[in-house]
Chains A and B, each alone.
Chain A
Amino acid sequence: MKRVLTFILISIFILIMQQSFLSGLKINFLALDATLAFIACSSLLLDEVESFIVALVTGLIVDSFSPYVFGVNSIIYISISYLFTLVQKKIYKERTLILILLNVLAVILKYLIIFGSYYIVSIKIDFIKIIKDVVPFEMFSNIIFAIFLFNFLKKVVNIAFLQKEWKF
């Protein structure tokens, strides 16, 4: 539970940083979704239940800030968290290439879910323009951010009081 609470606090901090600090920086072609990168990284470090709870709480908080629809981010985060916790047992997650591929996959999944939801509820968005102008930059920004974040979260997980005891 301590790990879950710690990760939820980190997710809130990252969300505030994204909404206030990063949005204030006027860097062209920076399209970072820091919370998505955080969910992808945390899913590789926590177990299924912990990762699910962190993703659900983060999703609900992000949705509380989002206009128009409530629930899209929650679906995105719990789906990604569930898929990545399944995958993490079968791969060597320390490799940077794996981290890059999973972040690319996370962005693709995110936009598939968003496009699907918006299409269903008839919200008009220029999908082609988003795919052309935003998705590649978001993938790139997320990969760079995730590489640093993953190393940071690994250190957090390895802090003595957050380590899990083995059950034999």
Chain B
Amino acid sequence: MDFLKNKLLTIVLVLCLAFTIFIGITAGNKGNTGIVQNILTTGFRPLQKTLYVAGQRISNIFQFVSSLASLKKENDELKKEVEELRLKLVDFEKFKKENEELNKLLNFKNSNRNIKLLGANVVAKVGGEWFDILLIDVGSNDGVKKGQYVIAGNGFVGQVIEVNPNNSKVMTILDEMANIPAKVSSTEDIGLLTGIKSINKDKQCKISMLPYDTKAKEGDLVVTTNIISEGDSIIQDNILIGKITSIEEEKPSLTKVAYIKPEVDFKKLEKVMVIIK
């Protein structure tokens, strides 16, 4: 202990230097696998899962209480919304077509019977405020591989970036580093899907590098595309990502960027499915 005390500054400086070199070495990897990491995640998993579910429940109670306070306001807003919806019935045909499109996308499992899905529970959100990474309770022992896509009932969640024997990390589409190819369903324009960093929990994502003359418009659906293949993993196309909320120009690159409201409610995400085959 006395030796440590005398040489503490030297040890701190040497360790900082060593870790800086380590950062340089590990910077290129999306995952962060290792024995220590695997032992920690496996060991903490039951406690993490319980606490994660507890957090969800408490959050729901808060939401319920806050919704009571705004009940009257919400009622008035709903009445207004009903009127608007009545007017929108005129566009029935348009909605019918959109509904057919949605059904086609959402029930991709029925149309792609060769796809094998693996159910998983979300046990933690790792990476702090910095990354949007989910820890799920299935790993290589269950057939999960790096690069596989993850869905949640009605839409695309993200991509597996790291696989351990009993758990995996999933980078969600809300992460700034997601970089997943996607396309606008109506125009077939292809772009790059990334998240948008925001402190507000109603996070969005965006599809950038759309052609400048794109015909994509607000309300159009954005889906995944299998334009690239990643290793030996299956890249499934036509998984619904979300709806376009607005489109802007990306001035320096003369392309357009569309902001997307994700189809999946990441606030209430507890169960997901990994496309393993």
Which residues of A are at the interface with B, using a C-beta cutoff of 8 A? Answer: 12, 16-29, 31, 33, 47-49, 52, 56, 60-61, 63-72, 74-75, 78-79, 82, 114, 117, 120-126, 129-130, 133-134, 137-138
Q: Nearest 3 CB-CB pairs, A to B?
A: A24-B55, A71-B19, A121-B27
Asked if residues A117 and B197 are in contact (CB atoms below 8 Å), the reply is no
B55 touches A21 (CB 8 A): yes
CB-CB contacts below 8 Å: B1-37 with A: 1, 4-5, 8-9, 11-12, 15-16, 18-20, 22-24, 26-27, 29-32, 34, 36-37
B129 touches A129 (CB 8 A): no
- The segment from B46-54, B91-99, B240-248 that touches chain A is B46-54
Is B220's beta carbon under 8 Å from chain A? Answer: no
Q: How far is the CA of A126 from the CA of B99 in the complex (A)?
A: 37
Given A16-B47, A21-B52, A130-B197, A70-B23 contact (CB < 8 Å): yes
Distance, CA A137 to CA B32, complexed state (A)? 28
Complex contact B124–A23 (CB within 8 A): yes
Residue from the set A17, A26, A125 with the largest chain B CB neighbour count within 10 Å:
A26
**A129 cross-chain contacts in B, Cβ below 8 A:** 197
B53 touches A24 (CB 8 A): yes
From residue B238, how far is it (CB to closest CB) to chain A in Å? 28
**Residues A49 and B4 in contact, CB atoms below 8 Å apart:** yes
Q: In the assembled complex, how far is the CB of residue A71 from the closest CB belonging to chain B, in whole angstroms?
A: 3
Distance of A56 Cα from B18 Cα, bound (Å): 13
Given A20-B124, A65-B40, A67-B169, A52 and B59 contact (CB-CB distance below 8 Å):
no
A68 engages B30 (CB within 8 Å) = yes
Are the CB atoms of B20 and A17 closer together than 8 Å?
no
Residue of B nearest to A17 (CB): B51
**A48 and B5 contact, CB distance less than 8 A:** yes
Q: Within the complex, what minimum Cβ distance (angstroms) separates B183 from chain A?
A: 23
Chain B residues with Cβ under 8 A from A70's Cβ?
A: 19, 22-23, 26, 32
Out of B30, B52, B197, name the residue touching A23 (CB < 8 Å): B52
Q: Out of A24, A74, A125, A134, which one reaches B19, CB within 8 Å?
A: A74
In contact, B56 and A117 (Cβ under 8 angstroms) = no
B13 closest partner in A (C-beta) = A82
Closest to B29 in A: A68
Q: Please state if B59 and A138 are interface contacts (CB–CB under 8 Å).
A: no
Interface flag for B65 (CB, 8 Å): no
The reply to whether A28 and B59 form a contact with Cβ atoms under 8 Å apart is: no
* Chain A residues whose C-beta falls within 8 Å of the C-beta of B8 in the assembled complex: 48-49, 52, 82
The chain A residue sitting closest to B125, CB to CB, is A23
Is A74's CB under 8 angstroms from B15's CB? yes
Specify the chain B residue showing the minimal Cβ separation from A35.
Answer: B128
Complexed CA–CA distance, A21 and B124 (Å): 8
Q: Is the CB–CB distance between B52 and A78 below 8 Å? A: no
Contact indicator A65/B30 (Cβ below 8 Å): no
Task: Enumerate chain B residues within 8 angstroms of A138, measured Cβ to Cβ.
Answer: 129
Interface contact B37-A16, CB-CB below 8 Å: no
| B271 CB-CB contact with A under 8 Å | no
Q: Which B residues from 97 to 146 make CB contacts under 8 A with A?
A: 123-131, 133, 135
A26 pairs with B59, CB closer than 8 A: yes
B51 close to A25 (CB less than 8 A): no
Do B171 and A121 touch across chains, with their CB atoms under 8 A apart?
Answer: no
Minimum CB distance partner of A69 in chain B: B23
Q: How far is the CB of B196 from chain A (nearest CB, A)?
A: 9
Q: Which residues of chain A come closer than 8 Å to B19, judged between CB atoms?
A: 70-72, 74-75
25 A–B contacts, CB within 8 A, in A order = A20-B48, A21-B51, A23-B55, A23-B124, A24-B51, A25-B55, A25-B59, A27-B59, A47-B5, A49-B4, A49-B5, A52-B4, A66-B32, A67-B31, A68-B30, A68-B32, A70-B19, A70-B22, A71-B19, A72-B19, A72-B23, A126-B197, A129-B197, A133-B197, A133-B198
Whether A78 lies near B133 (C-beta < 8 A) is no
